Amino acid sequence: MAIAKAERLMNLALCLLGTRRPLSKRELRDSIEAYVETFRSGGGAAGSDDSFNRMFERDKDDLRELGLVIETVESLDGEIGYLARRDSNRLPPITLDAEEAAALGLAAKVWQQARLAGAASGALQKLRAAGLPEDVDPYEAHGALEPRIPVHEAAFEPLMLACRDRRPVMFDYRKATAARPEPRHVEPWALECWRGHWYLAGHDRDRGAERVFRLSRITGRVRSRGTGFTVPVPDVVTVRETVASWAGETADRSARIRLRTDAGYPLRAKATAVRELGDGWDELEIPYGHGLDAWLVEFGPDVVVLEPAELRADVVDRLRAVAKG
């Protein structure tokens, strides 16, 4: 129904914008297929005419709420007509200074997905017309390296579309502590990139709670599971904050670990102190918070937890669970 109404509104807007004279309700009813079908379904009777009038008035009000300026004009014979003059519905000229145009140029060129390459190219052309000179390189203007948002996971595109269309999905997901993937039924809310990895936030129907999933752990194909969400989408979806808590970003304690030399760069980047032990090992002091055990497990035999004892026990339990699987 939403798609049919959007198409009907678009057709009405095009008719009103494309005419050079006011069009009467009768002319609009005979020109727009959805109105024609409404009139035919009632056999052309007075009841169907009333249905058309109600539909037309609602559509006209909706277009006005969207910002379309629709004029009501009365002819000499008293007939009412409607039109939307182009000069009344034209956007003001876009004026951009060099910095604004360069920033928008960066935004348009950052995406690497083939599906959006055409749209990005068209956006750049419009930016050129709006004030970005041909000889201005947006990267040089900002003195920055070319930004990239790489997407290697096959699950990204179907999940992006599912988030957009508010469509539940099903996929197989392998946790860091599990040897085999398990099926998940999710109402997807948002995708976000954090430190080079993509994450999906959504409502996990099986667990009845909000969950965040790392796309690289999704195996197989993402399948649609009908339509309609069972819970409202939050106004703010805190993907990065959730993932950061897993990695101990909000920690108020410290842990000591042994890490193989030249391994575990993300752990080294977080370390507050590093000491060489020799024999291919270093000792690191890192922030300790909720979820750190799951993160350390990902580094496998390159990490040994020294303290605290509860963290060491949690990591050992997780590794045993993987081994048993």
Give me the domains of the chain, ranges plus CATH numbers.
Answer: 2-83 (1.10.10), 98-142 (no CATH), 156-240 (2.30.30), 247-324 (no CATH)
Rounded Cα distance, 289 and 130, in Å: 49
- pLDDT, greater one: 95 or 233: 233
- pLDDT exceeds cutoff 60 at 112: no
Report pTM: 0.44
Query: What torsion, rounded to 10 degrees, do the Cα atoms 135, 138, 139, 140 define?
Result: 50
- pLDDT exceeds cutoff 80 at 252: no
Mean pLDDT is lowest, of 29-43, 141-155, 169-183, 276-290, for 141-155
Query: Which pLDDT score is estimated for 325?
Result: 58
Mean pLDDT is lowest, of 116-125, 147-156, 224-233, 303-312, for 116-125
φ and ψ at residue 173, rounded to 5 degrees: -130, 130
Chain-centroid distance of CA 92 in Å reads: 29
